[in-house]
Amino acid sequence: MQSVKVVVTGPFNAGKTTFIKAVSEITVLSTERQVSDVAGEGSGETTVAMDFGRITISDDVVLYLFGTPGQERFSFMWETLSEGMLGFVLLVDATDGDSFEDAKSMIGFFTDMSDVPFVVAANKVAADDTATIASVRGQLGLADEVPLLPVDARDKDSVKAVLLGLLYRILESMS
């Protein structure tokens, strides 16, 4: 049995917690707090430490999913969570152009931590909206070899497709 540690990161409100909850076969351990309690403004919930979930891919591969906080104020967790990861997903809200700078610096942070494969998943965009997806690639300045996959973080099959895309890159990098 091979255990694969995968980090799910990305800017505030991208959909990371939703992504892990959609696919996990165990009840996700989450650390969410009301945004108003930690930021003094806004509404809804935000991750303050981590999300933890698990998905069995086959008889011999299990992915352990570690979701990060999106807010920079909790970035002390990013380094801890990245320890021992074999790859990461950078999730971005394709409709939130203001978050792209944060997304870029998070890609830099996690690739500096560890030279592992990653994929970018564009959330909250229709899978056939190629113009928006191409624009996200351009604005994030992604190298051609980095996969950019549309995702619906609420949909298990869609999330699973992203994780399989990452796993493929991880296995490729090991061979």
Q: Which residues bind ligand GTP (CB under 6 A)?
A: 12-18, 44-47, 69-70, 123-124, 152-154
132 is written with which tokens?
A: 């928006």
Q: How far is the CB of 19 from ligand GTP (least distance, A)?
A: 7
Nearer to ligand GTP, 2 or 95 (CB): 95
What sign has the CA pseudo-torsion 131, 134, 140, 146? positive
Q: How far is the CB of 93 from ligand GTP (least distance, A)?
A: 7
* Contact status, residue 86 vs residue 4, Cβ threshold 8 Å: yes
Which does residue 12 bind out of Mg ion, ligand GTP, none, counting CB within 5 to 8 angstroms by kind?
ligand GTP
Long-range contacts of 124-130 (CB under 8 A, 24+ apart): 124/15, 124/93, 124/94, 124/95, 124/96, 124/153, 125/94, 125/95, 125/150, 126/150, 127/152, 129/94
Residues at the interface with Mg ion (CB under 5 A):
16-17, 47
Nearest to 148 by CA among 92, 73, 78, 81: 92
What sign has the CA pseudo-torsion 161, 167, 21, 35? negative
Which does residue 15 bind out of Mg ion, ligand GTP, none, counting CB within 5 to 8 angstroms by kind?
ligand GTP
Which does residue 129 bind out of ligand GTP, Mg ion, none, counting CB within 5 to 8 angstroms by kind?
none
Nearer to ligand GTP, 95 or 173 (CB): 95
Q: How far is the CB of 21 from Mg ion (least distance, A)?
A: 10
Nearer to Mg ion, 6 or 170 (CB): 6
Q: How far is the CB of 146 from Mg ion (least distance, A)?
A: 23
Q: How far is the CB of 8 from ligand GTP (least distance, A)?
A: 9
Nearer to ligand GTP, 15 or 53 (CB): 15
Cα separation, 169 vs 45, whole angstroms: 32
What sign has the CA pseudo-torsion 146, 167, 116, 124? positive
Nearer to ligand GTP, 63 or 153 (CB): 153
